[in-house]
């Protein structure tokens, strides 16, 4: 009948300089999938390409077709040397791997949500390219079901594991509803921009300032905020609920005196200050001011590390869920092996079924048992063959299906 295979490379098996050489864009996949399926002889094919992995999922009657598929793919990408970084999994091990990938249990950051969308997109491209069939369609549908179970029945996505998102989660704990919060982003550091972008999506009002006003204008257009002049920070500080500082300045940009004046002006309404700069751009003494919540990058990293430990504990629960789903899928896959036998049985007994409700019930139960336990399918088939022979008193069902035929 054939087997499911998972092969390729990822962040565990290959460095970025190898992964980037064989990475595929959407256009690459649309062009490559039909070609690779045709030249390799595999029956079904899908490729998942992300920044952390390039993996091929296929169903093939022969492993030599999979070897050819690997060589053809690397030849097209001009990187035959990447083969030494490839892994190959087959059967139940391959199914388990696909389920782990879809559930983000195999991700660099366990529980990260992006992989689900990437997995769905790869699935959709393969389906539109005509390289999926009954087996991989079912595999991906069940993988997404398993992913949903892992996310809803465990806490792998519950806690922030990026510095930027951890800052946003802390802000939520302090302010509760952030929709009316005013956020000031000081500087143009990547992590600061990410945190500001998260807050903007929640509904916060965003203000951006930078030593170069043109840079502040550019970021404000990208993030959907308002640009302020850097020299006017102290004037605007009393109006801000959250301040994210992410600059390359070698000295403090926000001092204790500045914050004291701002807090008096805002009547000591709480203010959350996040200093993601290295070296720090907010004077640590700012944290001694009443109603100021100051966190630097080390504080945030402690939160991230604690949350990551929690996620890894939850991931172990996810593994149990996945094995449950894998066993269900492999049972269905095994049941396909007796389909020819069942179809032949239905064809031969249809006349007797019409005449005998009792025999119809017997056949129904027999088919159910054949699907549930393919190992006994041949025995059940022979028993019913003898029953049909007794009824007709003549020609019996030819016994043409045995274990060597693939039952």
Closest CA to 10 of 59, 65, 60, 57: 57
Q: How far, in whole angstroms, is CA 200 from its chain's centroid?
A: 24
The CA distance from 405 to 407, in Å, is 6
- Strand partners for 46: 57
SS3 content of the chain, % helix, strand, coil (to 5): 60, 15, 25
- What residues contact residue 47 under an 8 Å CB cut-off, 6+ apart? 24, 29, 32, 33, 54, 55, 56, 57, 122, 126
The tokens for 182 are 């005013």
- Please count the other Cβ atoms lying within 10 Å of the Cβ belonging to residue 290: 8
Report which DSSP code applies to 61: S
Looking up tokens 């959250």, which residue turns up? 242
- Strands 271-275 and 292-296 turn out to be parallel
Closest CA to 405 of 384, 377, 380: 377
Polymer length in residues for the chain: 407
- What residues contact residue 362 under an 8 Å CB cut-off, 6+ apart? 384, 387
Does residue 99 contact residue 4 with C-beta atoms inside 8 Å? no
Catalytic entry in 24, 46, 51, 204: 51
Cis peptide before 279 (omega within 30 of 0): yes
Is 51 among the residues known to form the active site?
Answer: yes
3-state secondary structure of 59: strand
Q: What is the dihedral of CA 343, 347, 352, 357, to 10 degrees?
A: 40
Task: Compute the Cα dihedral for 168, 169, 173, 177 and give only its sign.
Answer: positive
- Strands 182-186 and 205-210 turn out to be parallel
Cite the active site residues: 51
């Amino acid at each position: 009948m054939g087997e499911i295979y998972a092969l390729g490379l990822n962040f565990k098996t290959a460095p970025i300089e190898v992964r980037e050489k064989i990475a595929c864009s959407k256009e690459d996949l649309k062009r490559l999938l039909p070609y690779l399926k045709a030249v390799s002889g595999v029956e079904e094919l899908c490729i998942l390409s992300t920044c952390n992995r390039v993996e091929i999922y296929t169903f093939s009657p022969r492993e030599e077709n999979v070897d050819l598929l690997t060589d053809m793919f690397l030849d097209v990408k001009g990187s035959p040397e990447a083969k030494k970084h490839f892994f190959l999994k087959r059967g139940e091990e391959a199914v388990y791997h696909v389920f782990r990938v879809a559930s983000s249990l195999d991700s660099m950051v366990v529980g990260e949500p992006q992989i689900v969308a990437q997995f769905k997109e790869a699935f959709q491209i393969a389906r539109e390219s005509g390289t999926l069939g009954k087996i991989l369609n079912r595999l991906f549908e069940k993988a997404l079901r398993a992913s949903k179970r892992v996310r809803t029945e465990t806490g792998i996505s519950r806690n922030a594991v990026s510095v930027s998102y951890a800052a946003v989660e802390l802000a939520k704990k302090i302010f509760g509803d952030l929709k009316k919060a005013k956020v000031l982003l000081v500087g143009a550091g990547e992590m600061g921009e990410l945190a500001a972008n998260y807050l903007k999506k929640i509904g916060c009002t965003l203000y951006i300032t930078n030593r170069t006003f043109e840079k502040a204008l550019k970021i404000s257009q990208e993030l959907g905020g308002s640009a302020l002049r850097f020299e006017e920070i102290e004037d605007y500080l009393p109006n801000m609920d959250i301040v994210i500082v992410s600059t390359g300045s070698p000295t403090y940009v926000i001092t204790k005196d500045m914050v004291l004046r701002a807090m008096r002006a805002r009547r000591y309404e709480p203010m959350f200050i996040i200093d993601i700069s290295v070296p720090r751009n907010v004077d640590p003494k700012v944290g001694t001011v009443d109603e100021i919540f100051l966190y630097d990058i080390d504080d945030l990293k402690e939160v991230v590390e604690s949350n990551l430990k929690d996620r890894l504990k939850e991931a172990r629960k996810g593994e149990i869920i996945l094995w449950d789903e894998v066993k269900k899928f492999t049972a269905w896959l095994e049941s396909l092996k007796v389909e020819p036998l069942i179809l032949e049985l239905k064809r031969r007994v249809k006349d007797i079924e019409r005449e005998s409700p009792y025999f119809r019930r017997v056949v129904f139960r027999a088919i159910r048992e054949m699907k549930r336990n393919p190992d006994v399918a041949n025995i059940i088939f022979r028993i019913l063959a003898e029953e049909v022979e007794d009824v007709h008193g003549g020609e019996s069902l030819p016994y043409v299906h045995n274990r060597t035929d693939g039952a």
